[in-house]
Amino acid sequence: MNGYGFDFHGLRFEARASGALWWPEGAALIVADLHLGKSERMARRGGPLLPPYEGLATLERLAGEIAALDPQAVVSLGDGFDDMAATEALDPQVAGALRRLARGRDWIWIGGNHDPGAPAGLPGRAADSLPLGRVTLRHEAAEGPDVSGHFHPVVRLAGERRRAFLLGRDHLLLPAFGAYTGGLSHDDPALAALVPQGLAIACGARAIALPLGRRRRS
């Protein structure tokens, strides 16, 4: 296993090295900030013409997790799409891949700031938030305990920036799963306010936990 297991308010989770969160008891796979359609949106707005392959790359990694875990439910924790127009303009190949992945599973799109509504013509149902025991799944952290995305947290480890889960007393933050996503450092005031102390679980070849909020000794 290359994940990191932990308990959060009575729920057993595994932080996967890919950046996805696995809840074995309910066989649910939770991913945040897929940002599908990002390159298309940037081009539409006159920005750079990025390689239009990020949807394929993101879904290929997601397909790997689905093949490994065979979840009954997949939850997108908001900003699954880079904007609402992107849900309509989604590349047919990406849309096809989504349909194949969703077949036979409960697929839930939690609304984010980029994609507040339900995606038209795609599998799955929309929700503002989702209760999981005492915990709420939502896009942006609010009243805890909750599991959320939105901030794209990263940590520095061995001279590299890595995407990371942040695990605090009230909040569990997921890294962005989408291919073309930047990151916000864990010590940014916005993140330090949410998770002043706890653990960061860095993604990569394997999940690596490191303490947060205490000064690391050299």
Partner 1 sequence: MILPPEFQDWFVRQGWQPHPHQLALLAAEGDSLLIAPTGGGKTLAGFLPSLVDLARVGRSQDGYLENGKGARTGLHTLYVSPLKALTADIGRNLARPVAELGLEIRVEDRTGDTGQGQRRRQRVDPPEILLTTPESLALMLSYPEAPAIFGGLRRVVLDELHALAESKRGDQLMLGLARLRRLAPGLRVTGLSATVEDPQALAGFMAGAALVTVVEADPGPDPDIAMLPTAKPAPWSGGGGHYAIPEVLEAVKGARTTIIFINTRAQAELFFQALWAENDENLPIGLHHGSLAREQRARVEAAMAAGELRAVVATGSLDLGIDWGAVDLVIQVGAPKNVKRLVQRIGRANHRYNAPSRARIVPANRFEQIECVAALEAVRERDLDGDRRGPGPLDVLCQHIGLTACAAPFDADALFAEVVTAGPYRGLSRADFDACLDFAATGGYALRAYDRWQRLVLRAGLWQLRDPRAAKLLRMNVGTIVEAEMMKVRLRGRGGAPLGEVEEAFAASLTHGDSFLIGGRVVRMDAMREMVIEVTPDPTRQPKIAVYSGVKLAMSTQLSHRVLALIGDPARHGALPAQTREWLDLQAQVSALPEPGLLLSESFPHAGLWHFALYGFAGRNALQTLGLLLTREMEDEGLGPLGFLSTDYALLVWSLDAVRDPAPLLDRARLRAGLGDWLGENAVMKRTFRNVATVAGLTQRNMPGQRKTGRQATFSSDILYDTLRKYDPGHLMLRITAEEAGRGLVDFGRIEEMLDRSPRREHRMLERVSPMAAPLLLEVGRVPIRGEGRERLAQIEAEALMAEAGLEGIA
- Where on the chain is the footprint of partner 1 (CB under 8 A)? 40, 43-54, 56-57, 91, 151-152, 154, 156, 159-161, 179-185, 187-188, 215-218
Shortest Cβ distance from residue 152 to partner 1 (Å)?
5
Q: Which lies closer to partner 1 via its Cβ, residue 104 or residue 159?
A: 159
Residue linked to tokens 């939690």:
110
Q: Which lies closer to partner 1 via its Cβ, residue 70 or residue 188?
A: 188
Shortest Cβ distance from residue 29 to partner 1 (Å)?
23
Shortest Cβ distance from residue 73 to partner 1 (Å)?
28
Report CA Rg, the chain: 16
Q: Which lies closer to partner 1 via its Cβ, residue 121 or residue 182?
A: 182
Shortest Cβ distance from residue 59 to partner 1 (Å)?
12
Q: Which lies closer to partner 1 via its Cβ, residue 45 or residue 103?
A: 45
Shortest Cβ distance from residue 95 to partner 1 (Å)?
13
Written as one string, the DSSP assignment of the chain is: --SEEEEETTEEEEE-TTS-EEEGGGTEEEEB---BTHHHHHHHTT-----TTHHHHHHHHHHHHHHHH--SEEEE-S-SBSSHHHHHS--HHHHHHHHHHHTTSEEEEE--SS--SPPTTSSSEEES-EEETTEEE-SS--SSSEEE-SS-EEEEETTEEEEEEEE-SSEEEPPB-SSS---EETTSHHHHHH-SSEEEEE-SSS-EEEEESSPPP-
Q: Which lies closer to partner 1 via its Cβ, residue 105 or residue 152?
A: 152
Shortest Cβ distance from residue 27 to partner 1 (Å)?
30
Q: Which lies closer to partner 1 via its Cβ, residue 129 or residue 185?
A: 185
